[in-house]
Amino acid sequence: MAKIVVISGSPSVSSRLNGVLQTIQSQLLAEGLELSWIDVRNLPPEDLIYTNFKSPAIIEANERIAEAHAVVVATPIYKASYTGVIKTFLDLIPQKGLEGKVILPVAIGGTIAHLLALDYALKPVLAALGARIQLPGVYALDTQVQRNEDGTFELDEELGQRLTAATEEFVQEFRHRLQLNPIAAQS
């Protein structure tokens, strides 16, 4: 069974990024797949700020990443880049910790002007962690995600279609790689 991890880098508990990720999760569940979440905001802040590689919570999160075949890396856009929150965790992933994994980068921003932050900011740092199989990814506008009072989210149709297409490509890509390397599928 493929192991998939989502790393979510929003500092906000009710971030519209959650609406985007829940949509991806629903689609993966419909494919019979499961996601394990690493919400960086729930990791011990001191361990993140002091880059504490010995932190049990960080070690556990890194073990899940090491076992994963595919990783969704998701961040809001802050100051034309990924958030500081996600970077504190990326700094704690071992060198080459994303090697061999299929990566789906996801970002949400307030302006389309920062669409390329996926390409000039997020993807290079993931490449520095060994990620060579990075899909084009999805950039959502926050106006495309409506946050309801009950905590649920509604996505506009255009974003929903792009998420469906990107998630299908993600699933195809890691299934294809697992077929080529069945030993990895058993681990």
Ligand X SMILES: Cc1cc2nc3c(=O)[nH]c(=O)nc-3n(C[C@H](O)[C@H](O)[C@H](O)COP(=O)(O)O)c2cc1C
What is the contact surface with ligand X in residues (CB under 6 A)? 10, 12, 15-17, 76-80, 108-111, 114, 142
Q: In this structure, which amino acid lies at residue 58?
A: I
H-state helical runs in the chain:
16-30, 45-49, 56-67, 84-90, 117, 123-128, 157-180, 182-186
Q: Which is nearer to ligand X, 3 or 123 (CB)?
A: 123
Q: How far is the CB of 102 from ligand X (least distance, A)?
A: 24
The CA-based angle 74-39-152, given to 5 degrees, is: 80
C-alpha to C-alpha distance for 35 and 70, rounded to whole angstroms: 10
Q: How far is the CB of 176 from ligand X (least distance, A)?
A: 31
Q: Which is nearer to ligand X, 7 or 77 (CB)?
A: 77
Please identify the residue of the shown chain whose CB is closest to the bound ligand X. 109
Q: Which is nearer to ligand X, 69 or 114 (CB)?
A: 114
**Number of residues assigned to the chain:** 187
Q: How far is the CB of 164 from ligand X (least distance, A)?
A: 21
